[in-house]
Homo-oligomer: A and B are copies of this chain.
Amino acid sequence: MHTAIAIDAFKPANRVPAQPRPQLRDVSLNAPGCARCPLRTLCLPAGLTDDEVNQLHDCVGSRRRVKRGEILWQSGDALHTLFAVRVGFLKSFMITRDGQVQVIRFQMSGEIVGMDAIATGRHNSTVVALEDTELCPIPLAELERVMDRVPGLQRQLFRIMSHEIVSKQDSMALLGTMRAEQRLASFLLRLSFLYQERGYSATEFVLRMTRQELGNYLGLKLETVSRLLSKLQQEGLIRVESKSVKLLDIPALRLLEAREALDA
C-alpha cells in the first residue's frame, strides 16, 4: 500500500494536453550566456556585476533538456550538479520514514534546484519534471572554485539559500495555520505572482501538477482540492477548465486568503 503510493509519486503527470504557453522573450534559442539571459534578474546572476556574471557563466555547463516525467535525481543520489531552471516546471518531493509522499516545492524558471543537498552531499528529495524542461547545469566543484574568486557570487548564493528558508517557513505557516480554502487561494495567488514575475499572465495560467500533487503540497486530499476549485468557480472567483485556471477576482481571493483563519 505504502509502496504503491511511493511508486505513484514517481510517475509523471501523464496525459496533460499540450498547452499553449505565452512567450515572453525568446528563451530557448542560442542565448549567448548568463549576461543576456532574460532570467538573470531572478537567477544566480542577480545583483552581480557584468564581470562577475561572465565568470559565473564559465562554470555553467551546456543546456540540458528533460522530458515530462523524467527524474532529475532521486533521494539518496550524490550531489554533483546544481541546476538552474531555464524553462519548464518541476516538483520536488520526499518520502517520509513511514512511506508517505510529501511534495516539498514546485520549481519554475530562474530557480536553483538541489541546494538542500549541500548539507550532506546527497539529495534528500527526488526531483521530476512536470513538463518538458530546460536546465542550466552548474557543477558544484566548478561553482566552488569560482565562488572563491567572486565574493559577490558567494553572497548571492547565500541570499538564494536564505530565500529558500524563508519560502519554506511560509509553507509551514500555510500548513500550520490555514484552512483548506485559504491554502488554495494562497497557492493560486502565489503562482500568479510567480508567473507575472516571469513575464507571463498573472491571471491566466496552467496548473502543471495534478490535483493529487497539488493537494499533497497543500496538505489536502485531491478530492478536497477538486471540490474547492469547483466552489471558487461557482462563487465567480476563478474559472477552471481541467488544468487551465483564470483568476477572475484577485481582491476577493486575497480576502479569502487572509480571513477566517483558525484561531492561533
Contacts and interface: CB of A to CB of B under 8 A. Distances in A.
Interface of A: 1, 5-6, 8-9, 94, 96-102, 104, 115-120, 124-125, 144, 147-148, 151, 154-155, 157-166, 168-169, 171-173, 175-178, 182, 212, 216-219, 257-259, 261-264
Contacts of A97: 257-258
B168 A262 contact: no
A80 to B, nearest CB: 15
Interface-central residue, A98, A101, A163, by most chain B CB under 10 Å: A98
A119 B168 contact: no
B257 A119 contact: no
Nearest to A1: B263
Contacts of A116: 162, 165-166, 169
Tally of this chain's copies = 2
Contacts of A1: 263
A47 to B, nearest CB: 12
A175 B183 CA distance: 13
A176 B175 contact: yes
A264 B100 contact: yes
A173 B94 contact: yes
17 contacts: A1-B263, A6-B264, A96-B177, A96-B261, A98-B182, A102-B173, A102-B176, A104-B172, A115-B165, A119-B159, A119-B162, A120-B166, A124-B169, A144-B151, A176-B219, A212-B264, A216-B264
